[in-house]
Amino acid sequence: AQSVTQLGSHVSVSEGALVLLRCNYSSSVPPYLFWYVQYPNQGLQLLLKYTSAATLVKGINGFEAEFKKSETSFHLTKPSAHMSDAAEYFCAVGGFTGNQFYFGTGTSLTVIP
Amino acid sequence: GAVVSQHPSRVICKSGTSVKIECRSLDFQATTMFWYRQFPKKSLMLMATSNEGSKATYEQGVEKDKFLINHASLTLSTLTVTSAHPEDSSFYICSAPPLGQGSYEQYFGPGTRLTVT
């Protein structure tokens, strides 16, 4: 069975501080992993994806994530938080027959001025 | 990049009526589209997989007679909420993987906010 766990439903950081959003996955096959951002009343925007190439993936808006197979993790980081980063972030796993994605429960990021 | 649109973006309907939501891939073809439901401050719950030219596949617990899905062409899937009730109020999002890209790429629509009064 496939699943995604996002530790911490709410994360608060100060503007300029490091952002770390955690994602662990469970998969019976090598997965593809994704991070999406969602702003209020909007759809999902792809931040970055891992599809079995480089384990350190760089995305948009200064975000990056590292795939660690030994830890079954794909944590999202950004060196310096900006006010505009405040949003809901979802980790997802794909790569399965049927093309389905499985989403984590989301992490709401608050950036404190 | 590939674009998926949804129409309408917001809809308010009265209890007992039906509402149709369209999902279109604007610059690519998709034999499969996915419909998700998102409750406030919750994750996306996969409702069903829409298959062009064949019946949709519903996830466990999703009423197929209530949420009718039609994938009429390679660029259009529709979700009809029949006999809507207030508990059907939610944010509905569709997604589509472009042909040939398998499951390592999907594009999401902007979502449709349904409010049933």
**Residue range B60-87, pLDDT digits in tens:** 999 999 999 999 899 999 999 999 999 9
Contact B103 A90 (CB under 8 A): no
Touching check for B54 and chain A: CB below 8 Å?
A: no
Q: What is the mean pLDDT of chain A?
A: 90
Give the list of residues 6+ apart from residue A81 with CB closer than 8 angstroms, or none. Answer: A13, A14, A15, A16, A17, A18, A19, A109, A111
pLDDT of residue A3: 83
Give the list of residues 6+ apart from residue B63 with CB closer than 8 angstroms, or none. Answer: none
Tell me the C-alpha distance between A94 and B106, whole Å: 10
B45 → chain A, closest CA residue:
A103
pLDDT of residue B104: 67
Q: Give the pLDDT band (50/70/90) at residue A112.
A: very high
pLDDT of residue B53: 87
Q: Give B46's contacts in chain A (Cβ within 8 Å).
A: 100-102
Q: Give B108's contacts in chain A (Cβ within 8 Å).
A: 36, 43-45
Q: Give A101's contacts in chain B (Cβ within 8 Å).
A: 34, 46, 95, 103, 106
Touching check for B32 and chain A: CB below 8 Å?
A: yes
Q: Residue A4 in contact with residue A23, Cβ under 8 Å?
A: yes
The string of pLDDT tens digits covering residues B2-27 is: 789 999 999 999 999 999 999 999 98
Give me the count of residues in chain B. Answer: 117
Helix/strand/coil for B5: strand
Hey, CA dihedral for A59, A92, B7, B15, is it positive or negative?
negative
- In the predicted model, is pLDDT for residue B37 greater than 90? yes
For B16-51, give the DSSP string.
T--EEEEEEESSS--SEEEEEEE-TT--EEEEEEEE
The string of pLDDT tens digits covering residues A17-44 is: 999 999 999 877 668 899 999 998 788 8
